[in-house]
């Protein structure tokens, strides 16, 4: 019956386990007299017992492996049911009675932290990672088994050979991270607000500010030969384009930049003074200027010469990255309106001239004129206007290469979490309150049902759906307007086509709903423009700009030396690449595919011998 069959299967599995253990004895740790052999992790009962006084002695009744789980115990039970302990455990007990530290015994040193751990990998959350204590355990077991590699011997010495497990992580980091090179921390003084504990008043004091200058980052990366790994190489770019189809490139991986987040400086907003950020930017602009020029600066940010004998004085005027030759400029300054206006000094929306991109105002060229013939569309600022009358006098504009056209609006905060979320929130609120019948709960259920139907109609995968809406997502309060909240910006962006369908469905002849529909039409058009930046060539563009030349001809010139020593250039005969060879290779590949299919069919009929011979000869050709 099924029970007998299952018992027989378990017995056969146990026998196979024992055969594998005997064949690969190097992977088990068994304690013999004066000799350490690797044993399977769960076969070490001293791992599971807490022991007494740190000697590693298993507790009574807890040191034995559970019946039916270990192959070795099942084999022992099959031979002799009365004997519940095999010779492995007896050897362990003998060693523990002597009080000697044995390889991989968690009772070593009396540290309860290691004794209580069930396995060496229990401290780690990821299944493919191991804590430093487990690394030390495995390395010491390998050394006791006869391995004489220097790196394993060094790992076995972590934490004083495991006697101080709390130091294993520290020793591991000290031994592995020895070749890293990071920029030296520089210090400058900046004003900050401090709170006087005695009087409770705020005072401004100049305090040390630590900074990692951008040009020092490049110096460190160049010295450690890490610029290629972090910034990419020309070989990576060539490889990227090699695997792209010219008519349909896929920008699914970035071959040009491996990492772009480098800490420079930090400051708390609540402690900043009016002069705090200008001092920060003065030093950062000085560093970015040196990075753009590619040489170590000869003066500090205040224009003072370096002290004689200092490191800065010794490298002044020399290239920053002599190995890689890198320089860098600021390409994009992206942010939301609050960052661009408050921090970088662009015109504020509450001012009389609120825009940095055009000359609109609040009088004769109103910024809120959304007609097609609006006047502000004809007074956009040109590059000459920005040069003659800069919109900001921020210190960042003194960096070589930085101009007004480096400023870019962050669509995530300006659109997705800004205008779009407010527009969608108002639409959903009006649909539930003004258009759908029933109470608020019934109206919300109807709205969720209609949204799901629109998603299905637009063939949107469920992974891109927004979760079921509740009123907390877009509810209006006494102090706030309706706004789609608690959503990812990308989800809000992908909801715009659904919102457009809802606006069309609940549109009437009145001016309000008509204007609402135009808003969502404009939003949908705007997102379509953003998502179609023209980075992919169309088939028409490829055909129009590609020259199909069937015969490649290139004159090659030979340089010869005349007896008088004059150099002359002799044109060589034109080289023609025959097209027939290319067609022949295609034909051979096509025949190879046919023979492979035929070979798979004939193998069933045991006639593959002759065909394999033909296939081999054709493959050699």
- Residue 566 pLDDT exceeds 70: no
Specify the pLDDT at position 61.
44
What confidence category does residue 463 fall into, taking pLDDT thresholds of 50, 70 and 90?
Answer: confident
Specify the pLDDT at position 580.
40
- Residue 535 pLDDT exceeds 60: no
- Residue 47 pLDDT exceeds 90: no
Mean pLDDT of 176-198: 81
pLDDT tens column, 1-11: 888 899 889 88
- SS3 call for 570: strand
- Residue 350 pLDDT exceeds 50: yes
Specify the pLDDT at position 290.
95
Mean pLDDT of 406-426: 91
Specify the pLDDT at position 280.
92
Specify the pLDDT at position 297.
94
444-453, 472-481, 538-547, 578-587: segment of lowest average pLDDT: 578-587
Torsion angle, alpha carbons of 530, 533, 538, 543, to 10: 160
Specify the pLDDT at position 570.
44
Best CA proximity match to 71, nearest among 7, 18, 129, 5: 18
What confidence category does residue 300 fall into, taking pLDDT thresholds of 50, 70 and 90?
Answer: very high
Specify the pLDDT at position 285.
95
CB of 73 closer than 8 Å to CB of 67: yes
The residues that bridge with 112 in the sheet, in sequence order, are none
Q: Locate the domains of the chain by residue range.
A: 2-176, 186-315, 333-409, 412-530, 579-620
User: Which range has the top average pLDDT, 91-105, 116-130, 177-191, 492-506?
Assistant: 492-506
Specify the pLDDT at position 604.
62
Specify the pLDDT at position 238.
72
% of the chain with per-residue pLDDT over 70: 65
What confidence category does residue 442 fall into, taking pLDDT thresholds of 50, 70 and 90?
Answer: very high
Q: Which residue has the higher pLDDT, 175 or 455?
A: 455
What confidence category does residue 113 fall into, taking pLDDT thresholds of 50, 70 and 90?
Answer: very low
Q: Which residue has the higher pLDDT, 452 or 181?
A: 452
d(CA 182, CA 179): 10
- 132-144 and 168-176 are packed helices; what angle lies between their axes, rounded to 10 degrees? 80
CB of 365 closer than 8 Å to CB of 379: yes
pLDDT tens column, 19-36: 776 565 444 334 333 333
What confidence category does residue 79 fall into, taking pLDDT thresholds of 50, 70 and 90?
Answer: low
Best CA proximity match to 20, nearest among 71, 58, 56: 71
Mean pLDDT of 89-104: 42
Q: Which residue has the higher pLDDT, 605 or 481?
A: 481
The residues that bridge with 569 in the sheet, in sequence order, are 559
Mean pLDDT of 40-67: 42
Q: Which residue has the higher pLDDT, 420 or 595?
A: 420
The token duo for 17 is 């386990």
DSSP letter, residue 181: -
Specify the pLDDT at position 109.
37
- Residue 367 burial by Cβ neighbours in a 10 Å radius (0-12, 13-18, 19+): middle
Mean pLDDT of 193-213: 88
Q: Which residue has the higher pLDDT, 551 or 545?
A: 545
Specify the pLDDT at position 314.
93
- Residue 514 pLDDT exceeds 90: yes
Mean pLDDT of 456-479: 88
The token duo for 580 is 């027939």
Q: Which residue has the higher pLDDT, 303 or 24?
A: 303
- Residue 181 pLDDT exceeds 70: no
What confidence category does residue 64 fall into, taking pLDDT thresholds of 50, 70 and 90?
Answer: very low
Q: Which residue has the higher pLDDT, 532 or 578?
A: 532
Mean pLDDT of 414-424: 92
Specify the pLDDT at position 138.
87
d(CA 48, CA 63): 6
Best CA proximity match to 48, nearest among 109, 132, 126, 114: 114
d(CA 260, CA 251): 18
- Residue 195 pLDDT exceeds 90: no
Count each helix (H run) and each strand (E run) in the chain, helices first.
26, 10
User: Quick one: which H or E segment has residue 558?
Assistant: strand 557-561
Mean pLDDT of 81-110: 42
Mean pLDDT of 383-410: 90
Specify the pLDDT at position 521.
94
CB of 213 closer than 8 Å to CB of 283: yes
What confidence category does residue 293 fall into, taking pLDDT thresholds of 50, 70 and 90?
Answer: very high
Q: Which residue has the higher pLDDT, 128 or 380?
A: 380
Specify the pLDDT at position 3.
87
d(CA 202, CA 82): 81
- Residue 530 pLDDT exceeds 90: no
pLDDT tens column, 116-155: 444 443 444 444 566 888 888 888 888 888 877 888 888 8
Specify the pLDDT at position 475.
83
- SS3 call for 207: strand
- Computed over every residue of the chain, the mean pLDDT equals 75
Best CA proximity match to 40, nearest among 160, 136, 154, 138: 138
Give the number of other Cβ atoms within 10 Å of residue 227's Cβ. Answer: 19
Specify the pLDDT at position 55.
43
Specify the pLDDT at position 30.
40
Specify the pLDDT at position 523.
93
Mean pLDDT of 605-609: 59
CB of 500 closer than 8 Å to CB of 492: no
Q: Which residue has the higher pLDDT, 93 or 164?
A: 164
What confidence category does residue 37 fall into, taking pLDDT thresholds of 50, 70 and 90?
Answer: very low
């Amino acid at each position: 019956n099924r029970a007998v069959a299952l018992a027989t299967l378990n017995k056969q599995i146990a026998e196979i386990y024992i055969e594998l253990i005997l064949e690969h004895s190097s992977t088990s740790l068994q304690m013999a007299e004066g000799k350490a052999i690797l044993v399977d992790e769960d076969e070490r009962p001293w791992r599971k017992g807490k022991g007494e006084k740190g000697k590693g002695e298993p507790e009574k009744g807890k040191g034995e492996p559970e019946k039916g789980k270990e192959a070795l115990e099942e084999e022992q039970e099959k031979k002799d049911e009365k004997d519940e302990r095999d010779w492995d455990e007896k050897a362990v007990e003998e060693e523990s009675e002597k009080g000697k530290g044995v390889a991989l015994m968690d009772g070593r040193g009396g540290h309860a932290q290691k004794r209580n751990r069930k396995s060496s990998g229990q401290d780690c959350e990821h299944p493919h990672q191991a804590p430093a204590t487990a690394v030390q355990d495995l390395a010491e077991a390998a050394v006791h088994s006869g391995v004489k590699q220097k790196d394993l011997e060094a790992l076995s010495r972590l934490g004083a050979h495991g006697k101080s497990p709390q130091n294993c992580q520290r020793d591991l980091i000290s031994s592995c991270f020895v070749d890293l090179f990071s920029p030296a921390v520089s210090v400058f003084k900046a004003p900050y607000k401090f709170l006087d504990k005695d009087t409770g008043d705020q005072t401004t004091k100049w305090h040390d500010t630590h900074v990692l200058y951008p040009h020092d980052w490049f110096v460190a990366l160049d010295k450690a030969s890490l610029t290629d790994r972090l910034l990419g190489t020309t070989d990576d770019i060539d490889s990227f384009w090699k695997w792209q189809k010219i008519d349909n490139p896929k920008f699914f991986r970035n071959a040009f930049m491996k990492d772009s987040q480098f800490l420079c400086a930090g400051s708390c907003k609540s402690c900043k003074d009016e002069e705090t950020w200008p001092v920060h930017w003065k030093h950062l602009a000085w560093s970015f200027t040196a990075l753009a020029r590619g040489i170590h600066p000869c003066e500090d940010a205040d224009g003072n010469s370096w002290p004689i004998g200092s490191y800065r004085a010794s490298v002044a005027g020399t290239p920053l990255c002599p190995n890689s030759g890198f320089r860098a400029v600021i390409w994009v300054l992206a942010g939301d309106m609050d960052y661009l206006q408050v921090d970088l000094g662009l015109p504020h929306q509450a001012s009389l001239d609120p825009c940095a991109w055009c000359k609109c105002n609040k009088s004769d060229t109103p910024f809120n004129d959304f007609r097609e013939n609006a006047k502000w569309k004809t007074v956009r600022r040109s590059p000459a206007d920005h040069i003659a009358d800069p919109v900001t006098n921020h210190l960042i504009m003194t960096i070589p290469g930085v101009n007004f056209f480096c400023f870019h609006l962050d669509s995530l905060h300006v659109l997705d979490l800004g205008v779009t979320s407010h527009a969608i929130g108002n639409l959903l609120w009006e649909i539930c309150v003004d258009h759908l019948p029933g109470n608020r709960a019934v109206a919300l259920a109807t709205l969720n049902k209609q949204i799901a139907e629109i998603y299905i109609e637009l063939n949107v995968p469920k992974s891109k759906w927004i979760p079921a809406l509740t009123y907390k997502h877009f509810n209006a309060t006494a102090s706030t307007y309706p706004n789609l909240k608690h959503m990812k910006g990308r989800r809000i962006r992908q909801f715009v086509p659904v919102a457009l369908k809802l606006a069309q469905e609940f549109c009437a002849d009145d001016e309000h709903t008509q204007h609402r529909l135009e808003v969502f039409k404009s939003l949908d058009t705007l997102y379509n423009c953003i998502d179609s930046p023209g980075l992919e060539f169309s088939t028409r563009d490829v055909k129009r700009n590609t020259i199909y030349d069937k015969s490649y001809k290139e004159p090659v010139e030979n340089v010869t030396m005349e007896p008088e020593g004059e150099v002359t250039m002799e044109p060589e005969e034109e080289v023609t690449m025959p097209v027939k060879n290319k067609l022949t290779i295609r034909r051979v590949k096509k025949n190879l595919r046919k023979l492979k299919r035929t070979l798979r069919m004939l193998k069933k009929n045991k006639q593959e011998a002759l065909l394999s011979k033909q296939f081999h000869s054709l493959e050699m050709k």
